[in-house]
């Protein structure tokens, strides 16, 4: 009799523990699904960067925009990526970080060879080079970006690039 009572108690405790475990698992699964649907999206990241920029927190905005770019490289079309890179270059120009500005201006140019902001992009590249004290390179860029004669086109074709 004592053995049967002990067995019944063990069975009841086991059922209670299993029921509790199943309910905890269901709860956690539901919470995780809700968190996933409410989580930070890439679009939130972009809006956040723009909010920081609007509030005058340019350095922090640039950092957040870089995070956005790093997450978006496979998701956005090249035209939009080029625009974001151009805007990021402008932020760095305002922060007097001309090398970083050039990095994003050139990246923008690589992503979209003929953007609607091409004239502005050309001017910004030359300006950044001048600010870095690279007058010869700035002069070359200015000449190659504004001249359309055959001689300059041929010079541009003869530029040697490092191949990786």
In a domain, 66, yes or no: no
Same domain? For 35 and 80 the reply is no
Tokens of 16: 């209670």
> pLDDT exceeding 70 applies to what percent of the chain?
80
- Note down the domain range covering 16: 1-39
CATH number of the domain that residue 110 is part of: 1.25.40
- The count of C-alpha atoms lying within 13 angstroms of the C-alpha of 71, restricted to the half-sphere facing its C-beta, is 13
In a domain, 110, yes or no: yes
Same domain? For 18 and 81 the reply is no
For the question of whether the overall pTM of this predicted structure is more than 0.95, the answer is no
Same domain? For 96 and 153 the reply is yes
Domain total of the chain? 2
- pLDDT tens digits, residue range 5-23? 888 888 888 888 888 878 7
In a domain, 164, yes or no: no
CA–CA separation, 16 vs 36, rounded Å? 30
- pLDDT tens digits, residue range 54-79? 999 999 999 999 998 887 656 778 89
CA–CA separation, 145 vs 141, rounded Å? 6
Same domain? For 35 and 83 the reply is no
Same domain? For 19 and 84 the reply is no
- pLDDT tens digits, residue range 80-114? 899 999 999 999 999 999 999 999 999 999 999 98
């Amino acid at each position: 009799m004592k053995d049967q009572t002990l067995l019944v108690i063990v069975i009841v405790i086991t059922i209670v523990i299993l029921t509790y475990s199943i309910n905890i698992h269901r709860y956690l699964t539901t919470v995780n699904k809700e968190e996933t649907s409410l989580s930070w999206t890439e679009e939130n990241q972009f809006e956040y960067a723009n909010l920081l920029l609007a509030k005058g927190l340019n350095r922090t905005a640039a950092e957040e925009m870089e995070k956005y770019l790093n997450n978006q490289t496979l998701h956005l079309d090249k035209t939009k990526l080029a625009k974001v890179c151009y805007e990021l270059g402008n932020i760095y120009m305002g922060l007097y970080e001309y090398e970083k500005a050039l990095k994003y201006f050139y990246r923008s140019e690589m992503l979209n060879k003929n953007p609607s902001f091409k004239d502005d992009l050309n001017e910004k590249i030359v300006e950044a080079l001048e600010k870095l004290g690279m007058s010869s390179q700035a002069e070359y860029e200015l000449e190659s970006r504004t001249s359309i004669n055959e001689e300059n086109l041929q010079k541009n074709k003869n530029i040697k690039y490092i191949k990786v």
